[in-house]
Amino acid sequence: MNFKPLFNPKSVAVIGVSLNNDRHPANVIYNKIHLRYPIQVFAVNPRGGLLQREKVYSDISEVPAKVDLAVIAARAQHVPEIMQKCIAKLVGGAIVISGGFAETGRRDLQEKLVTIAKEADFPFIGPNCLGIYSPNRFDTFFLPGERLVRPDPGNVAIISQSGGVLVDLMVKFAGQGIGLSVAVSIGNKALITEIDLLRYLARDPNTKVIAFYVEGFGKNEGREFVLAASRFSKPIIVLKAGKSAEGRRAVSSHTASLAGDYRVFSEVLSQHGIVEAKNEFEMVSFAESLSCYQKSIDGKVGIISVSGGHGALSVDVCTSHGLSVPRLSQKAQQKIRTKLSDSLKSIASLGNPIDLTGSAMDDDFVIAAQSLSELGEIDCVIILLLPYSPGITADLGARLSRVYQKEGKPLVAYVPHVEKYRMLIEGFELNRVPVSASIEGAVLMVEAMRRCRPC
């Protein structure tokens, strides 16, 4: 099947618009594409008429142009006929927003859609989904434009069975400065599944990391997914719902999926070097880290801070995740000490974690980061920055990023995410160094690289 019309349409028909309810999902989608995106869009309703002074076509066959993508938001019982008309019109593919299929017990209706599509080699996403959000290109989510939080364009793709979880992740991605290549809500995934999208996105030059929210798989589908994921070099993150018996029941009623044995699935993911996120917080931290560093490490961490307490907390978190914080040799410590500011030489603690104390200046951080980056016993450096320290300037993020660019050893930063420190944070982010708003998040960014198979 050709997925290009789904992801790069030049024309869209929205089928099922209302002539008297502007809040109808189809109307929200139509208005958003019409007003916000550089795509030709057509409205379709059997009664015809006008919608905001634009012609409404009574049938897809009447649209006087080639249609790449149909967005179907009509009642479930009408969708098979609509799909057949789209195929006759030579539409390139469809997104079926409509619910009322297998998730409500109507497997027969859903199977009818699949049969129609397979016979015509016609790709469609859904049903019971939001569809596709493609930054700066188009958006089929039936969420008002002014309410949708849009991450900047980037290199992480999200595939989700749940539209709600997907939108929530987009909010969190935007807050953390993680950019999206595409976001896809697949709902019941009647035809196009995670495996299909994995294969497509593995070839997409704009996508470097693929993140999945999975509720369940069909028979043998989970095994096929893991085997397919293990064959591709891009980092893959999986957040799985249905871990408990109660969760499995919720999954079944939501998208009619089989949740399966979570413990077995989790173990298989680990065996194949696929990064599993236990919750949304881990998902966001892992995605930010791997969007910057598509590489695997052993997990030998060097830590730099101006606070002994922050250093101690980070060691505890590292240890809880199986990461090591090796103590530096006296020779390595002395080499660092000789380069520090005179005021720090006698008071800094350099065993690892490195405590530069509240008297540290920008140059001291750069010296410590450079020194750790040169050591073979360290494969990742965590910088714990307290921007209220008097010797730190807003330029420090950019200066530390240059250490990574020079040495190539991954660097992860912790900086409290408040607007006052935005310039410092941007110094890291603009140079592809991930920044967490918490110590736990910074450690998880390192953990993502340790779990990820070599890329």
Identity of the amino acid at 246: E
Model confidence at 250, pLDDT cuts 50, 70, 90, reads: low
pLDDT in tens, 8-17: 999 999 999 9
What is the percentage of the chain residues whose pLDDT exceeds 90?
84
Interior angle at CA 322, CA 353 and CA 303, nearest 5: 15
- Return the number of other C-beta atoms located less than 10 Å from residue 64's C-beta: 7
pLDDT in tens, 163-197: 999 999 999 999 999 999 999 999 999 999 999 99
> For 102, which DSSP code?
G
Q: Which phi and psi angles does 348 have, rounded to 5°?
A: -70, 140
DSSP code per residue over 227-253 = HHHHT-SS-EEEEE---SHHHHHHHHH
- Return the number of other C-beta atoms located less than 10 Å from residue 250's C-beta: 13
Q: Mean per-residue pLDDT for 78-82?
A: 97
Q: Is the pLDDT of residue 336 over 50?
A: yes
pLDDT in tens, 27-71: 999 999 999 999 999 999 999 999 988 999 999 999 999 999 999
Closest to 274 (Cα-Cα) out of 220, 235, 243: 235
Query: What is the distance between the terminal CA atoms of the chain, rounded to a whole angstrom?
Result: 28
Q: Is the pLDDT of residue 372 over 90?
A: yes
Q: What is the pTM of this model?
A: 0.91
Tokens of 65: 């142009």
**Residue whose entry in the numeric block shows the structure tokens 């795509």:** 39
Those residues with Cβ within 8 angstroms of residue 270's Cβ, 6 or more apart along the chain or in another chain: 276, 451
Per-residue pLDDT, 420: 83
Q: Mean per-residue pLDDT for 302-311?
A: 96
Q: How many whole angstroms separate alpha carbon 98 and alpha carbon 76?
A: 6
pLDDT in tens, 121-135: 999 999 999 999 999
Decide the pairing of beta strands 11-15 and 69-72: parallel
Identity of the amino acid at 92: G
User: Which residues lie across from 238 on neighbouring strands?
Assistant: 212, 276
Helix axes 221-230, 262-271, angle to 10 degrees: 20
Interior angle at CA 426, CA 292 and CA 311, nearest 5: 75
With contact defined as beta carbons under 8 Å apart, do 37 and 43 qualify? no
With contact defined as beta carbons under 8 Å apart, do 139 and 38 qualify? no
Q: Mean per-residue pLDDT for 339-365?
A: 95
Model confidence at 455, pLDDT cuts 50, 70, 90, reads: low
Domain boundaries, the chain: 1-127, 149-292, 296-451
Identity of the amino acid at 313: L
Q: Is the pLDDT of residue 257 over 60?
A: no
Q: How many whole angstroms separate alpha carbon 10 and alpha carbon 331?
A: 63
Q: How many whole angstroms separate alpha carbon 128 and alpha carbon 79?
A: 12
Q: How many whole angstroms separate alpha carbon 296 and alpha carbon 410?
A: 10
> For 326, which DSSP code?
P
Q: Is the pLDDT of residue 251 over 50?
A: no
DSSP code per residue over 108-139 = HHHHHHHHHHHHHT--EE-SSS-EEEETTTEE
Which one of 243-252, 271-280, 435-444 scores highest in mean pLDDT?
435-444
Interior angle at CA 193, CA 191 and CA 199, nearest 5: 120
Per-residue pLDDT, 247: 46
Is pLDDT larger for residue 144 or for residue 6? Answer: 6
Per-residue pLDDT, 378: 97
Q: Kindly report the CATH number that applies to the domain delimited by 149-292.
A: 3.40.50.261
Interior angle at CA 334, CA 298 and CA 408, nearest 5: 35
Model confidence at 419, pLDDT cuts 50, 70, 90, reads: confident
| CATH number belonging to the domain at 296-451, selected among 1.10.10.350, 3.30.2270.10, 3.40.50.261, 3.40.50.150 | 3.40.50.261
Q: Mean per-residue pLDDT for 142-150?
A: 87
Tokens of 233: 């070099």
DSSP code per residue over 177-196 = T--EEEEEE-TT-SSS-HHH
Tokens of 23: 């809040």
> For 350, which DSSP code?
-
Topology alike, domains 149-292 and 296-451: yes
Per-residue pLDDT, 41: 97
With contact defined as beta carbons under 8 Å apart, do 339 and 296 qualify? no
Q: Mean per-residue pLDDT for 370-383?
A: 97
User: Which residues lie across from 240 on neighbouring strands?
Assistant: 214
- Return the number of other C-beta atoms located less than 10 Å from residue 168's C-beta: 15
- Return the number of other C-beta atoms located less than 10 Å from residue 85's C-beta: 16
What CATH fold (topology level) applies to the domain 1-127? Answer: Rossmann fold (3.40.50)
Compute and round to an integer the Cα radius of gyration of the chain.
25
**Residue whose entry in the numeric block shows the structure tokens 């995106």:** 37
Q: How many whole angstroms separate alpha carbon 94 and alpha carbon 190?
A: 12
**Residue whose entry in the numeric block shows the structure tokens 């049903």:** 127
